[in-house]
């Protein structure tokens, strides 16, 4: 069975309703694949690194869906969280930061190529 990496790039601060729609679709896909017993990981990369600290706020419209797939979170890109000012809030929320590969000018990012190298699918929102 093919593993799927669901990657959230949408920006909660500047993307408006479209960004929320992308996030919800990413969460729904992750939830659906998980319910089917298919291997799936949720990744927050780029400006999407801002989402986890937002989603855990009480009353957030995506909160329930996030909690349902929280165990499937591969991580929040650490270098992306640094670049987009989300590191402190992400760490305070207890959400894992991943710094898997060195990229000059960053503190390390999630290595999406590892999914491709394993023959996994990547779906980007």
Q: Following DSSP, what letter does each residue of 27-95 receive, concatenated?
A: HHHHHHHHHTT--EEEEE-GGGGGHHHHHTSTT-TTHHHHHHHGGGEEEEEHHHHHHTT-HHHHHHTTP
**Chain mean pLDDT for the chain:** 95
Using alpha carbons, select from 109, 36, 105, 23 the residue that is nearest to residue 74.
Answer: 109
Percentage, residues of the chain above pLDDT 70: 100
CATH of the domain at 52: 3.40.1260.10
pLDDT band at 95 (very low <50, low <70, confident <90, very high): confident
Q: Is the whole-model pTM more than 0.85? A: yes
**In the predicted model, is pLDDT for residue 93 greater than 90?**
no
Can you tell me whether residue 125 is helix, strand or coil? coil
Can you tell me whether residue 99 is helix, strand or coil? coil
Provide the number of structural domains found in the chain: 1
User: For residue 99, what are the domain limits?
Assistant: 4-124
């Amino acid at each position: 069975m093919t593993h799927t990496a669901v990657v959230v790039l949408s920006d909660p601060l500047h993307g408006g309703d479209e960004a929320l729609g992308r996030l919800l679709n990413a969460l729904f896909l992750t939830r659906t694949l998980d319910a089917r017993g298919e291997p799936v990981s949720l990744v927050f990369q780029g400006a999407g690194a801002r989402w986890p600290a937002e989603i855990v706020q009480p009353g957030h419209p995506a909160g329930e869906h996030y909690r349902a797939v929280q165990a499937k979170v591969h991580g929040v890109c650490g270098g992306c969280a640094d670049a987009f000012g989300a590191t402190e809030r992400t760490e305070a929320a207890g959400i894992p930061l991943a710094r898997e590969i060195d990229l000059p000018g960053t503190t390390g990012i999630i290595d999406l190529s590892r999914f491709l190298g394993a023959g996994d699918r990547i779906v980007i929102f």
